[in-house]
């Protein structure tokens, strides 16, 4: 037996449900009569287009959010500084930093190589012309283009091709001269960097043979790891060591200020074969066991008074950077030892003439105290990841 109020309530509910059912049947009949029981093709296409547009908007919003976050990071970084302040590129060396057990022997062999190059007139050299990497600093609003990576469809290359899908390359950009055709694009406002090996601009747009990309440059260790970009790995980078090709380059703005506050890149004729040293993550070395490996770090003896050597101004700038921050073996040349200055292609005239002052690179480096260099303690590796000692 049920309560009378409950029976009354249930009756009203049944009548209400019946009424809704009648209305629903009427609506279906109307749809059938009007031919609306299935959507038309143009409506399907419109819906799909709307979804695609929504997806594009979502991606654009995500990009803007990422750019804003990167901008906030970049705003806290010293103007013009590449990589994290604590990176080996930017951290000033302590006078007590440990030396490698083979430091004396390695420096002796390096000095012998210097003597050979001076005798034959091939070096040491400062690569500061059209073969060194240009650095394009671009604003946040720079128009983006796709860079087609050679064999970008291959599994090992797909992630790098995705990183190259939208790059803010200026209209008048020009890569370095052959054979390497390096080019670096840096967008400080979004804290991102792209670099290319074998870059070229063809009729159908930009192409590259290899390269790398780094987001959050201001937090970067200064070499390629999986943290550099989504899908990145230690095989990225326009050099054979996974060290960015702009790393250790003397920039024109720095020379204008009269000081370089970071380590300098140095390339050797033939780096040691089979092994590399942190911070390098790979090598193409072909040299003897007595040569420096890629990634090796050197510094000028901190007890040496550089000001008393009577060096030309540019050589003195180099010596002080080598003493305070060090030299890093970034790659091999197959020819002679080389340091690097920024490619001057964006500047009118010959900006290095006021720094070289009529001297050749060999003449400028003739007085550099190569025999007072020291090799810092090395962690030798045969495979990545290679970690600091």
Task: Please report whether residue 157 resides in a domain.
Answer: yes
Domain shared by 233 and 332, yes or no: no
Domain span at residue 183 reads 134-237
Domain shared by 217 and 291, yes or no: no
Domain shared by 231 and 153, yes or no: yes
β partners of residue 376: 99
Report residue 160 as tokens. Answer: 């790098």
Please tell me the total count of domains within the chain. Answer: 2
Domain shared by 245 and 351, yes or no: yes
Task: Please report whether residue 45 resides in a domain.
Answer: no
SS3 92: coil
> How far from each other are the two terminal CA atoms of the chain, in whole angstroms?
86
**Measured distance CA(126)–CA(313) in Å, rounded:** 14
Domain boundary among 183, 207, 237: 237
Report residue 337 as tokens. Answer: 């030892």
Task: Please report whether residue 123 resides in a domain.
Answer: yes
Task: Please report whether residue 4 resides in a domain.
Answer: no
β partners of residue 193: 186, 214
Domain boundary among 172, 206, 237: 237
Domain shared by 182 and 297, yes or no: no
pTM score over 0.85: no
Task: Please report whether residue 38 resides in a domain.
Answer: no
**Measured distance CA(207)–CA(285) in Å, rounded:** 27
Determine if the peptide bond prior to 124 is cis (ω within 30°): yes
Domain shared by 110 and 222, yes or no: no
- The label of the residue with tokens 């192409």 reads 207
pLDDT of residue 389: 85
pLDDT of residue 61: 58
Domain shared by 204 and 121, yes or no: no
**HSE-up of residue 38 (Cα within 13 Å, Cβ side):** 1
Report residue 176 as tokens. Answer: 């370095």
Domain shared by 275 and 387, yes or no: yes
pLDDT per residue, tens digit, the chain (389 aa), is: 434 343 343 334 333 333 434 334 344 344 334 333 333 333 334 444 454 445 545 545 555 555 455 444 444 444 579 999 999 999 999 999 999 999 999 999 999 999 999 999 999 999 999 999 999 999 999 999 999 999 999 999 999 999 999 999 999 999 999 999 999 999 999 999 999 999 999 999 999 999 999 999 999 999 999 999 999 999 999 999 999 999 999 999 999 999 999 999 999 999 999 999 999 999 999 999 999 999 999 999 999 999 999 999 999 999 999 999 999 999 999 999 999 999 999 998 899 999 999 999 999 999 999 999 999 999 999 999 999 98
Task: Please report whether residue 171 resides in a domain.
Answer: yes
Domain shared by 212 and 202, yes or no: yes
Task: Please report whether residue 251 resides in a domain.
Answer: yes
Task: Please report whether residue 367 resides in a domain.
Answer: yes
**Measured distance CA(90)–CA(385) in Å, rounded:** 22
Domain shared by 177 and 303, yes or no: no
Using a 10 angstrom Cβ sphere, with 0-12 exposed, 13-18 middle and 19 or more buried, the burial of residue 200 is middle
pLDDT of residue 65: 54
- Output phi, psi for 221, to 5 deg: -70, -15
pLDDT of residue 31: 36
Domain shared by 89 and 204, yes or no: no
Contact 247, 264 (CB under 8 A): no
In this structure, the number of other CB atoms found within 10 A of the CB of residue 328 comes to: 27
Query: Residue by residue, what is the 3-state secondary structure of 321-385?
Result: HHHHCCEEEEEECCCCCEEEECCCCCCCCCCCHHHHCCCCHHHHHCCCCHHHEEEECCCEECCCC
Domain shared by 127 and 138, yes or no: no
pLDDT of residue 79: 59
Where are the alpha helices (H) located in the chain, listed in sequence order? Answer: 4-34, 41-74, 103-120, 158-163, 252-257, 313-324, 353-356, 361-365
Domain boundary among 203, 237, 271: 237
Nearest to 374 by CA among 125, 126, 102, 118: 102
**Measured distance CA(264)–CA(103) in Å, rounded:** 19
């Amino acid at each position: 037996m049920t309560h009378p109020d409950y029976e009354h309530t249930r009756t009203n509910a049944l009548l209400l449900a019946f009424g809704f059912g009648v209305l629903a049947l009427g609506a279906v009949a109307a749809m059938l009569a009007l031919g609306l029981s299935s959507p038309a093709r143009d409506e399907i296409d419109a819906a799909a287009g709307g979804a695609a547009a929504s997806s594009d908007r979502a991606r654009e919003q995500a990009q803007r959010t990422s750019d804003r976050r990167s901008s906030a990071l970049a705003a806290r970084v010293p103007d013009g500084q590449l990589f994290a302040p604590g990176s080996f590129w930017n951290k000033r060396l302590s006078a007590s930093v440990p030396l490698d057990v083979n430091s004396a022997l390695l420096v002796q062999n390096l000095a012998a190589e210097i003597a050979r190059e001076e005798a034959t007139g091939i070096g040491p050299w400062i690569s500061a012309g059209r073969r060194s990497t240009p650095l394009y600093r671009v604003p946040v609003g720079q128009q983006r283009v796709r860079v087609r990576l050679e064999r970008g469809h291959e599994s090992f290359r797909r992630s790098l091709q995705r990183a190259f899908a939208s790059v803010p390359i200026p209209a008048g950009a020009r890569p370095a001269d052959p054979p390497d055709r390096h080019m670096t694009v840096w967008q400080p406002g979004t804290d991102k960097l792209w670099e290319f090996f074998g870059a070229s601009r063809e009729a159908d747009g930009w192409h590259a043979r290899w390269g790398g990309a780094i987001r959050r440059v201001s937090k970067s260790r200064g070499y390629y790891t999986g943290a550099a970009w989504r899908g990145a790995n230690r095989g990225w980078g326009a050099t054979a060591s996974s060290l960015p090709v702009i790393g250790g380059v003397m920039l024109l703005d720095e020379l204008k200020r009269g000081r370089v506050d970071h380590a300098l890149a140095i390339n050797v004729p033939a780096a040691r074969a089979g092994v590399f040293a942190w911070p390098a993550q790979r090598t193409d070395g072909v040299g003897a066991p007595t040569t420096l490996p890629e990634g090796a770090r050197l510094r000028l003896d901190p007890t040496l008074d550089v000001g008393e050597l009577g060096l030309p101004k540019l050589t003195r700038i180099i010596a002080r950077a080598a003493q305070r921050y060090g030299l890093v073996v970034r790659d091999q040349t197959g020819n002679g030892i080389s340091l690097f200055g920024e490619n001057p292609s964006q500047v009118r005239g010959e900006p290095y003439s006021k720094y070289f002052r009529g001297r050749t690179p060999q003449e400028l480096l003739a007085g550099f105290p190569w025999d007072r260099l020291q090799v810092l303690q090395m962690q030798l590796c045969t495979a990545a990841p290679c970690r600091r000692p």
